[in-house]
A and B are shown apart, each in its own frame.
Chain A
Amino acid sequence: MAAQAAITLSHVTKEFTGGVRVLDDINFTVSPGEFICIVGVSGCGKSTLLNIIAGLESASSGSVEVPSGRASVMFQDPSLMPWLTARQNVELALRLRGIGREERKAEALRLLDLVNLRDATEKLPHQLSGGMKQRVALARALAQDRAVLLMDEPFAALDAVTRDLLHDELERVWRETGRTIIFVTHNVREAARLGDRVVLMTARGGHIAHEWSVTVERPRQIEEPSVSTIAGSISGALRAELAKVHNV
């Protein structure tokens, strides 16, 4: 329990020019190998928080510690390089890490197999479905070999069937690779399905409103009663947050 935290946020505050405070004194720690979901309505600052942990934006004050170094990031848009095949896209991440040609190819094929894309390694992005593209993006993020993986609504644009299968896929990959994952979503059921811990952000003001520990045994199913119960309680808190906004 005393092991070093994978991510430590202390007093993180973010103000945009004009004095709009999107994050206000955020404190939390993430243990190595933990799967955290951050939930909140649009504009609550959850993506800003992720970008700050990723180092893409800087906090106005407070500190972010990621002892393992920089994190890898996945976005809602798979953002594959359209001129590279699935394998070459993964290899690009390896190449930017300075890995040699031979090793690069073997490693890319291994990672694509990990995300169940063994048959699509030589396909170009425009020949892949949305779910397949997002899995290539996952393989590319894993290729960076960083202990922390940040995901910003990665499955928001996918259909329900694909998303369901990707939840299983991500859970398995997470277990096999031992990554620490912070997963931002506005989908409450998705958060309850995936997270060890779910963090709800307030709708305005940039605080953490509530936290849930999800102890349901894995692998989980999204329609499991125990998952639904937690989703229901998160959903209730989310609505309460929204109600506060309307009362203002």
Chain B
Amino acid sequence: MSNPAAESDTRSLEHRLDALQAGPAAAKPRRLNWLSSVWPPVVAIAVLLLIWQSYCWIAQPRPDLYPSVIDVWSAIVANWQSGRLPMALGTSLSRGALGFVYAIILGTLVGFLLVEVPLLRRAFGPIISGLQVLPSVAWVPAAILWFGLSDATVYFVILMGAVPSIANGLIDGIRQVPAHIRRVGLVLGAGPVALHRFVLFPAALPGYLAGLRQGWAFAWRSLMAAEIIATGGKLGFGLGSLLQQNRELADLPGVLATVLTILLLGILIEVGVFTPIQRRVLQRRGLTEAR
């Protein structure tokens, strides 16, 4: 009945068709890609700094109101050598990281809960979306009254900033999982736990990561705002506190130096942590847009 010759012919024809249709996996010059995405912003920053410095050289404005790039750089060096900047950096980063970890845990739990219980989602969904719009700094006065000038105040404000974004990212991610992917999970015999673990959560990963990224941005902003408003007491000395202290000393180069440090840190975490993770996840799924 079977015809081995015809069969092997089918197999080899199929191989050829596969090779034609799938095409070779394009080898990507990764290093070059990375460099090409780094140099434009670097040049842009250099040009901005040059314009700023040139203005100071040519127009000679009051250095206490309009410090030059060189003044600000000296302030960074001075703040670093005095030990205030390293201390502030360490405090803010460790608080930000720890607060963000709490926010991930809480936001993920809340997200899963709202995905699973439709009534809860309909009840709390709009509230969570609303909280996302409320600047979490607005919680600082209440938090100070509840927790005093302690780290709990700072963490509370971070949570209020980041949890809604993370929860919403997960909820949106899971709701956007195509119906046929969910159906295949069921057809393959996945129970409720396995369906979430092996199908829904991995499928929702891009949306969840977008939520994490936004959550971090909110957490970092909330942290800085909380540190500026709430200083002293049992609170550690963070970047926001340094900013506030430099303002009280009328040290504008010091203020700008701190602002630049905060900005730089934000960019570093964005470019160094979130962008590569997100790119890798999207690339694996063939979702990266052509450059």
Contacts and interface: CB of A to CB of B under 8 A. Distances in A.
Interface in B197-213: 198-199, 202-203, 205
Contacts of B17: 129, 131, 161-162, 165
Interface stretch (B5-13, B106-114, B139-147): B5-13
Size bracket, chain A contacts? 35 or more
A27 B15 CA distance: 41
A168 B10 contact: yes
Contact of A82 (B22, B183, B189, B286): B286
A96 B22 contact: no
Interface string B260-291: 00000000000000000000010011110000
A16 interface: no
B237 to A, nearest CB: 43
Interface in A82-121: 82-83, 92-93, 95-97, 116-117, 119-120
Nearest to B190: A96
A82 B285 contact: yes
A217 B10 CA distance: 18
Interface string A120-157: 10011111111110000000100010000000000000
A116 B15 contact: yes
Interface in A46-67: 54, 56
A216 B203 CA distance: 45
A132 B17 CA distance: 10
Interface stretch (A70-78, A189-197, A201-209, A227-235): A70-78
Interface string B172-213: 000000101101101111100010001100110100000000
Interface string B2-40: 110011001101110110011001000000000000000
Nearest to A133: B22
Contacts of A241: none
Contacts of A172: 2, 7, 10
Nearest to A162: B17
Contact of A83 (B2, B15, B186, B202): B202
Nearest to A137: B184
A213 to B, nearest CB: 17
Interface string A9-50: 000000000000000000000000000000000000000000
Contact of A129 (B1, B18, B194): B18
A144 B189 contact: yes
Contacts of A177: none
B22 A93 contact: no
A92 B198 contact: yes
B189 A127 contact: no
Given A83-B281, A120-B22, 4 more contacts: A92-B188, A93-B188, A126-B285, A129-B22
22 contacts: A79-B181, A81-B199, A82-B284, A83-B202, A83-B203, A96-B188, A116-B14, A116-B15, A120-B22, A129-B17, A129-B21, A129-B22, A131-B21, A132-B18, A132-B22, A144-B188, A162-B21, A165-B13, A172-B10, A175-B2, A219-B6, A219-B7
Q: Which 7 pairs, one residue from A and one from B, show the smallest C-beta to C-beta distance? A: A126-B286, A129-B21, A82-B285, A168-B10, A79-B184, A79-B180, A73-B187
